[in-house]
Amino acid sequence: MQLNFRTAGFVGRLPEKKKERKNSMYCVKNIKNDLYWVGGTDRRLALFENVYPIPRGVSYNAYLILDEKTVLLDTVDYSVSQQLFENIAHVLNGRHLDYMIVNHMEPDHCGTIGALVSRYPDIRIVCNSKIAGMMKQFFDFDVDSMVQIVEEGDTFSTGRHTFAFAAAPMVHWPEVMVTYDATDKTLFSADAFGTFGAMNGNLYADEVNFERDWLDDARRYYTNIVGKYGPQAQAVLKKAGGLDIEMICPLHGPIWRENLGWFIDKYDKWSSYTPEDQAVMIAYGSVYGHTENLANVLAGKLADLGVKDVRMYDVSATHPSYILAEAFRCSHLVFASITYNGGIFTNMEHLLLELKAHNLQNRTVALMENGSWAPVAGKKMKEIFDSMKNIRLLDETVTIKSSLKEEQMAQVDALARAIVESM
């Protein structure tokens, strides 16, 4: 029977008692056998680490295995925590969450650990000692009573699955480890082999045109996030080389199950500072267009000499993360700057210091400068490159005052020829 009620001119009915029903907001993927993707995607975040533009968003990957014991591999950023919890609850389907393996303590992956522990207070946390130490810095729960410490070479079984662990320091935090599932030959690679970009239903790299739509984001992710730590990334690649890997599950971006060697080769080049392509990138800093014109003239002369696909960047219009990634790709780099406040143009100086901070090396570099009364940008830029490793500076620096004159065309021609001859 429904009861009518009347208050202050409002007429209505007492609400019926709602039936309890299972939440159906889950979004999961069955990857292989008893392995599930339970992560989330953020298309609203504008800046990754509050630094790097991510116009295509980003994914946060977490993985759940339904073995004799259930195990979660990493969590997600707090922004998508609700999605994670709904995904876990759906996959568990009433089962208890027994273990969580933590590979990396950066908050975009560990941010949900505290809330997860409150939901599953009996969970055991598998991690190395450095991760446990960082966990105490981020959270207030009794870490020591919940962690099971593992170190490189240790194994851990959940029934059908046997996991092994390897340290991956500075790829890209000092505590990082990677986890290898020897049963299904799967590498849970933490931030290694990750990329910017939100996933759009297709979970695997072979389901998308990765080279066309994802490679630039993958390169920009690696070079800006990990690029400084090439030797450490090389060490991880050597460890991975000794494993029989059929699938790579990173913490960002698509999962790799086909053509793994192609992507590993990219990582090998990036981490060894080997140019990906014999190509020319020109970055210029210009206020009133005269230095930009100088850069355009050089680009045209390079094209006349047969150089294809020259890339040009205005350092004031393009975020340095994109130019840094291109510098890792290209073998030959040209920098053209006005003299500004008795030094290098501000945005150009920022870019060059970024290249130095990320340990870029093994490149051929050419310089061009402009200064209406006292051009010194070339000298200042040279000082930066002289302090970097394995940089070949071409001698043919072009100097103009205010604007390019006809009698200076020979200098630009000479620089173009020097670049081509060095390729």
3-state secondary structure of 263: helix
Taking the CA of residue 89 as centre, how many other CA atoms within 13 Å lie in the half-sphere pointing to its CB?
Answer: 14
214 with 349, same domain?
Answer: no
Q: What DSSP string runs through 346-390?
A: HHHHHHHHHHHHTT--SEEEEEEEE-SS---HHHHHHHHHHTSTT
**Looking at the structure, do residues 265 and 375 belong to the same domain, yes or no?**
no
Per-residue tens of pLDDT for the chain, all 423 residues: 333 333 333 333 434 444 444 567 899 999 999 999 999 999 999 999 999 999 999 999 999 999 999 999 999 999 999 999 999 999 999 999 999 999 999 999 999 999 999 999 999 999 999 999 999 999 999 999 999 999 999 999 999 999 999 999 999 899 999 999 999 999 999 999 999 999 999 999 999 999 999 999 999 999 999 999 999 999 999 999 999 999 999 999 999 999 999 999 999 999 999 999 999 999 999 999 999 999 999 999 999 999 999 999 999 999 999 999 999 999 999 999 999 999 999 999 999 999 999 999 999 999 999 999 999 999 999 999 999 999 999 999 999 999 999 999 999 999 999 999 999
User: Are 231 and 366 in the same domain?
Assistant: no
Name the strand (E) or helix (H) holding 89. helix 81-92
- Using an 8 Å Cβ cutoff, are 272 and 232 in contact? no
Q: What are the tokens at 197?
A: 């970009």
- Site of tokens 């981490």: 271
Same domain, 257 and 205: yes
- CATH number for position 284: 3.40.50.360
Our count of domains for the chain comes to: 2
CA distance 366 to 72: 50
Give the SS3 label for residue 323.
helix
pTM of the shown model: 0.92
Q: Are residues 253 and 327 in the same domain?
A: no
Instruction: Look at residues 254, 271, 288 and tell me which one is the last residue of a structural domain.
Output: 271
My answer on whether 234 and 354 are in the same domain is no
Bridge-based pairing of strands 155-157 and 398-400 is unpaired
Per the structure, the complete domain to which residue 73 belongs is given by 29-271
- Maximum Cα–Cα distance for the chain, whole Å? 98
Residues 410 and 332 in one domain: yes
Last residue of a domain, one of 223, 251, 271: 271
Domain boundary among 213, 246, 271: 271
Verify that 67 and 189 share a domain, yes or no.
yes
